[in-house]
């Protein structure tokens, strides 16, 4: 028979157990930092003041650098957007996957296997709310069921680990020029369905090629198809008039969505992958940034990007969660001075060398194609004002974020990635756990390999006879090819690269 005393003892034990469980959960939650990864587009190694830029002002990015770590030997792994972003989310070299190894259009299928472990899926399993805001460019739909922008868009970001997504499909110079929230185009009028094609014209919308007088920004032939918001794009689009974006408002739109996600999940933990369109072409910053730099629209777009980062920093301060937030800023590839679009300021862009002293630019294997700025702040964990020359690839973010979140990484996940959190936490003088890094251009293009100060630049995957060799410690601008002087070192790097290509051989650890 249950006595009053035994009942109270049982109740007390139950309450104690619940309280202990609640405390354990609260402690576990507090131990997990919020994680924000801001991935800018086409920002080069020399485009920020804290990396030596002299013709722009980046006070907020510099503030981020002062509050944390500035990395000088970080790399995007691929030197163009889609494969770079694929490797970031999967921890796998994109050149291993034909679906994700090249720049995708707005109608190609999802390049990430929904069954694969991704950065967001791993963190989601660890109790994180996961969000994507901004550029996606990793494909939508499947080969069996191509993407339909008039219905549910699946598979997509929600199928690879994101709880929430507000994004655009490809690049801001490609159609379709609409926002997508989770699985639906935002503001789409069903009576005005969207059609998209990269093979043949659809609909009757004017094109830049036929009606250049309608353009607010001049374009070359490769960007001369459907005109949206006075800018002609790659690809043909019709319909969706009410849903089309205004380029000058994109930064405000995405920043507002990012702030909203943080506010909604301020109790944490959350993971936000924020990928602004800046500074990818066509560069059309809001009017409040126009003319604010001394190097044309490209510099103005950098100022807009800096405002975006400042808004993120201010939001964390306002909500009182800055100290428990790991914030990383970087770029998807090196910078480039391009003339595919011209609003009349292109000549001024040259005042600001995108990649500083580095050789090459976006799309190339030389350092200017893939060495990128990387800033990391986590108060109380990452030393403030530190500079690190540790070798880091953005491909390493999957296990690195998992380590920060104290989340297990299953066997086989992130197969080409290395946890570099120890290097971030060590700050000045840190030694990277990563020993080698394979670099990639686009598609089936050539590969390169980095080991220590040595960089192998190949011109073909089949013939390494003319591969170049540089010692970056002595020659960061890659001006002196040492391949003939160091045949043994060249052969060593070729052998390591071939092992990665044929065996997937973990030579990077």
Question: Of all residues in the chain, what percent are helix, strand and coil, respectively (each to 5)?
Answer: 30, 20, 50
Three-state secondary structure readout of 214-253: HCCCEECHHHCCEEECCEECECEEECCHHHECCHHHHHHH
The Cα 503–Cα 449 span in angstroms is 15
Summarize the confidence of residues 344-363 as an average pLDDT: 96
Q: What is the pLDDT of residues 214-241, one digit of tens each?
A: 999 999 999 999 999 999 999 999 999 9
Task: Give the containing element (helix H, strand E) for 393.
Answer: strand 392-393
| Residue 435 CB neighbours (<10 A) | 14
For position 174, what pLDDT does the model report? 98
Q: Please, which pLDDT band fits residue 15 given cuts at 50, 70 and 90?
A: very low
- The three-class DSSP label of residue 75 is strand
The Cα 401–Cα 238 span in angstroms is 41
For position 430, what pLDDT does the model report? 86
Inter-CA distances, 4 with 7, 11, 280, Å: 5, 10, 72
Residue 206 CB contacts under 8 Å (≥ 6 apart), including other chains: 214, 226, 227
Q: Please, which pLDDT band fits residue 429 given cuts at 50, 70 and 90?
A: confident
Nearest CA-CA partner of 126 in 36, 247, 210, 35: 35
Half-sphere exposure in the Cβ direction for 297 (13 Å, CA): 22
Mean pLDDT value across the chain: 94
Q: What is the pLDDT of residues 69-96, one digit of tens each?
A: 999 999 999 999 999 999 999 999 999 9
Q: What is the pLDDT of residues 287-333, one digit of tens each?
A: 999 999 999 999 999 999 999 999 999 999 999 999 999 999 999 99
Q: Is the pLDDT of residue 24 over 70?
A: no
Least confident of 62-66, 230-234, 243-247, 429-433: 429-433
Burial of 135 (0-12, 13-18, 19+ CB in 10 A): buried
pTM for the structure as a whole: 0.93
Summarize the confidence of residues 271-284 as an average pLDDT: 98
Q: Please, which pLDDT band fits residue 12 given cuts at 50, 70 and 90?
A: low
Q: Please, which pLDDT band fits residue 25 given cuts at 50, 70 and 90?
A: very low
User: Do the Cβ atoms of 101 and 443 come closer than 8 Å?
Assistant: yes
Half-sphere exposure in the Cβ direction for 423 (13 Å, CA): 27
Q: Is the pLDDT of residue 2 over 80?
A: no
User: Do the Cβ atoms of 478 and 427 come closer than 8 Å?
Assistant: no
The Cα 461–Cα 438 span in angstroms is 12
For position 126, what pLDDT does the model report? 98
* R_g over Cα of the chain: 24
User: Do the Cβ atoms of 390 and 73 come closer than 8 Å?
Assistant: yes
Question: For the chain, first and last CA: distance in Å?
Answer: 64
Domains of the chain: 33-188+244-417 (3.40.720.10), 195-238 (no CATH)
Task: Give the containing element (helix H, strand E) for 6.
Answer: helix 4-31
Nearest CA-CA partner of 418 in 406, 402, 429: 402
Q: What is the pLDDT of residues 104-135, one digit of tens each?
A: 999 999 999 999 999 999 999 999 999 999 99
């Amino acid at each position: 028979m249950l006595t009053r005393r035994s009942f109270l003892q049982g109740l007390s034990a139950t309450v104690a157990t619940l309280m202990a469980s609640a405390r354990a959960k609260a402690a576990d939650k507090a131990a997990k930092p919020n994680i924000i990864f801001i991935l800018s587009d086409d920002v080069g190694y020399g485009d920020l003041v804290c990396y030596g830029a002299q013709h722009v002002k980046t006070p907020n990015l510099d503030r981020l650098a002062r509050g944390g770590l500035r990395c000088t030997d970080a790399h995007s792994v691929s030197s163009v957007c889609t494969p770079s972003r694929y490797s970031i989310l999967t921890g796998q070299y994109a050149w291993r996957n034909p679906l994700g190894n090249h720049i995708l259009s707005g109608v190609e299928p999802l390049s990430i296997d929904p069954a694969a472990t991704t950065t967001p899926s791993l963190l989601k399993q660890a109790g994180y709310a996961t969000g994507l805001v901004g550029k996606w460019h990793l494909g939508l739909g499947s080969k069996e069921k191509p993407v339909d922008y008039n219905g549910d868009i699946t598979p997509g970001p929600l199928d690879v680990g994101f709880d929430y997504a507000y994004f655009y499909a490809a690049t801001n110079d490609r159609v379709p020029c609409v926002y997508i929230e989770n699985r639906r185009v935002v503001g789409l009028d069903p009576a005005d369905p969207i059609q998209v094609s990269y093979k043949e014209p659809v609909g009757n919308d004017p094109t830049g090629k036929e009606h250049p007088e309608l353009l607010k920004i001049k374009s070359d032939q490769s960007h001369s198809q459907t005109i949206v918001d006075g800018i002609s794009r790659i690809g043909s689009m019709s319909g969706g008039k009410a849903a089309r974006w205004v380029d000058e408002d994109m930064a405000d739109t995405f920043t507002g969505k990012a702030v909203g996600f943080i506010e909604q999940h301020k109790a944490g933990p959350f993971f936000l992958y924020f990928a602004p369109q800046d500074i990818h072409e066509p560069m059309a910053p809001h009017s409040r940034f126009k003319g604010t730099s001394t190097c044309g629209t490209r510099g103005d777009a950098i100022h807009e990007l800096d405002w975006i980062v400042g808004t993120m920093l201010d939001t964390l301060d306002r909500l009182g969660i800055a100290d428990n937030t790991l914030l990383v800023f970087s770029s998807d590839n090196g910078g480039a001075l391009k003339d595919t679009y011209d609003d009349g300021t292109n000549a001024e862009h040259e005042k600001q060398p995108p990649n500083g002293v580095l050789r090459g630019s976006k799309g190339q294997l030389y350092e200017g194609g893939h060495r990128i700025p990387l800033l990391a702040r986590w108060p109380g964990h990452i030393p403030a004002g530190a500079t690190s020359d540790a070798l880091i690839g953005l491909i390493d973010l999957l296990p690195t974020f998992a380590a920060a979140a104290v989340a297990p990484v299953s066997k086989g996940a992130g197969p080409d990635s290395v946890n570099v959190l120890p290097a971030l936490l060590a700050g000045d003088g840190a030694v990277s756990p990563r020993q080698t890094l394979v670099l990639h251009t686009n598609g089936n293009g050539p590969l390169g390999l980095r080991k220590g100060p040595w960089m192998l630049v190949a011109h073909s995957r089949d013939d390494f006879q003319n591969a170049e060799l540089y010692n970056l410690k002595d020659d960061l601008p890659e001006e002196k090819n040492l391949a003939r002087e160091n045949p043994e070192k060249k052969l060593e790097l070729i052998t390591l690269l071939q092992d990665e290509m044929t065996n997937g051989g973990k030579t990077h650890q």
